[in-house]
A and B are shown apart, each in its own frame.
Chain A
Amino acid sequence: MVSVAVARPLVSVFSVEGEGTEGEVALPTVFTAPIRSDVVRSVHTRMALNKRQPYAVSSKAGMQSSAESWGTGRAVARIPRVPGGGTHRAGQGAFGNMCRGGRRFAPTKIWRRWHRKITKNEKRYAVASALAASALTSLVLARGHRIERVSEVPLVIGDQAQTLKKTKSAVALLEKIGAYEDVVKVKESKKLRAGKGKLRNRRYTQRRGPLIIYEKDEGIVKAFRNLPGVELCRVDSLNLLQLAPGGHLGRFCIWTKSAFQKLDEIFGTFTQPSQQKKDYTLPKSILTNCDIGRIINSDEVQSVLRPKVVRKRISIRKKNPLKNKNEMFKLNPYSRVLLKEAREATSKPSQKKQKRLMRRKNKEVKKIGREYYKSIVA
């Protein structure tokens, strides 16, 4: 996303006659308009409805009989039946959608709402977005255009292109600027359409090639129009259906110099309103800085963040302290003392301790014996 605050870059103009470039122009502000694929998509879907021709079944189909229901009591279904006699048709069901020769369910009507109104500002927003997208090589490549050989996007060619008369010279020009591969792509993509469209005058499909935008037709249209996939458009009347075919952003556009320079006049800048469109200034993006990553990692944000709080789970699996000694000790540190007491109360002292106690007892017994002996002897 191109930031609004960027200084206006210069776009080189490729010369039609000689080699290389013949100068530079400043990038019109339209190409820095916010790229709203959602707006483009919704406007495109509505706009694409507007070229439709109504279709409907005949309003009389299936209803051109004087059928009446026989009512109840005749052991037949109550569907309206054709009156009369002497022919197969008599007594047959009519009118219903289930009947042979009856009118269909919900016959299509011509007063279906075929077209959609789109607010002017929305349409202009979509066109501005589509133009901005056409200036990003990644979007143009993603849309499928073969612009690997093209040296610069947006691609601007000198005004002499407007005076081209021969298709041969048109091809030569496209080859020179590296745009002919896109045309080749279109040529090779012509296939039979899948589906019924084949039988409805839409026999072949092919890809879309470059869109050439000019300011004044001095032969350019006739020169380029026979090339497959190449479309031409005047700057004054840019068509969203051409700038974002299928609602997808990033059509490969080739501009003539005067067309390119006229864009500022047609769309204006963010501060200066348009000269051609009444009361219109380019839409502004909600965010001035779309680089969320950069914002998050900036000093201003990072310096006021508190450290990450790691919330430990408040409840872990419960262990029974009456059975699990460690769990009991965790809750009641005195439990080990009690356990020890209980163990000592029930068990005998260890071998070593027993021996020690025996020895002490023996010592005491011996002492008593000695004393007695002494008392006797004394």
Chain B
Amino acid sequence: MTETASSTKVPETVLKRKALREKIKAKRLQEAAKLKKQRKERRKEIFKRAEQYVKEYREKERAEIEARRRAKAEKKFYVPAGAKVAFVIRIRGINGVDPRTRKILQLLRLRQIHNGVFVKVNKATMQMLHRVEPYIAYGYPNLKSVRELIYKRGFVKIGKRGAWSRIPITDNRLIEDVLGKYGIICVEDMIHEIYTCGRHFKKVNRFLWPFKLNSPRGGFSRHGKRRHFIEGGEFGNREHLIDRLIKKMI
């Protein structure tokens, strides 16, 4: 529009558009300010929780150590609590699998070689793992393994039935949108839920896409997948030594 005399007429549509755009902009700025405040509060909350978890983990660790020492001092035996969470890795491929094993691996969401999932430890799941033992390597991961898996290889399942997507965890908002109603709003919450097998373990676990791990750096052992870990091979329950395998595969 030229800047001639003030009596230049501006088309009405232009004025209307301008008014509408300004209204939209004002609304957007309002929303943005509100959101910003919300997010700031969220960040504070996440900070507090992370701090609390760090303290909790350290206390737990110290408690274990103290209990062990106390038992030793009193000439008694310390029996640590059984593991609550296992990490299962599929170490065999998909060809030539018998139907029962195939089905159980599907139920565990281990559809591909070197896929890993967290599994709650109870009689039912242990029996399932036992059935498919030659196909998996599993054990009880420590905190570091859990953290590294979720931070480095963490992808989440977003979408709806028939239209799931494997989305990388790039923002806490992804987690909050889905798990917010269970009080899980950030990655640290997820890690805590998994590691300590909280009330919403299943929800968080299902939210996580099965971990796609590398083949182990340095390879499998000499007898490899053909033998149980106990016999010098790789498959089966290797309890706390799963961390080493995870480190090689992450």
Residues of A within 8 A of B (CB): 297, 299, 302, 307, 314-316, 318-322, 327-328, 330-335, 337-338
Contacts and interface: CB of A to CB of B under 8 A. Distances in A.
Interface string B167-197: 1111110100000000000111000000000
A302 B20 contact: yes
Given A315-B165, A316-B170, A322-B148, A338 B54 contact: yes
Given A315-B167, A322-B151, A322-B152, A333 B54 contact: no
For the residues of A in contact with B, the DSSP-based class is: loop
Contacts of A321: 151-152
Interface in B126-170: 148, 151-152, 158, 165, 167-170
Interface of B: 13, 16, 20, 24, 27-28, 43, 46-47, 50-51, 54, 148, 151-152, 158, 165, 167-172, 174, 186-188
Nearest to B191: A332
B196 to A, nearest CB: 17
B213 to A, nearest CB: 14
A315 B188 contact: no
Given A314-B167, A322-B148, 14 more contacts: A299-B16, A307-B28, A314-B165, A315-B165, A321-B151, A321-B152, A322-B152, A327-B170, A328-B151, A331-B171, A331-B186, A333-B43, A333-B47, A334-B46
A320 B16 contact: no
A300 to B, nearest CB: 12
A319 B170 contact: yes
B222 to A, nearest CB: 31
A307 B27 contact: yes
Contacts of A319: 170
B47 A331 contact: no
Contact of B168 (A299, A318, A332): A318
Nearest to A299: B16
A307 B152 contact: no
For the residues of B in contact with A, the DSSP-based class is: helix
Nearest to A314: B167
A321 B170 CA distance: 9
A315 B28 CA distance: 23
Contacts of A330: 170-172
B187 A331 contact: yes
B169 A331 contact: yes
Nearest to A336: B47
Contacts of B152: 320-322
Contacts of B16: 299, 302
Given A321-B151, A322-B148, A334 B170 contact: no
A332 B186 CA distance: 8
A335 B186 CA distance: 13
Nearest to A318: B168
Query: Which 5 residue pairs spanning A and B have beta carbons closest together?
Result: A334-B50, A318-B168, A333-B47, A315-B167, A321-B151
Task: Pick the most buried of B24, B151, B169: most chain A CB atoms within 10 A of its CB.
Answer: B151
7 contacts: A299-B16, A307-B28, A314-B158, A318-B169, A330-B171, A332-B188, A333-B46
Nearest to A320: B152
A334 B151 contact: no
A50 B13 CA distance: 53
A330 B51 CA distance: 15
B166 to A, nearest CB: 9
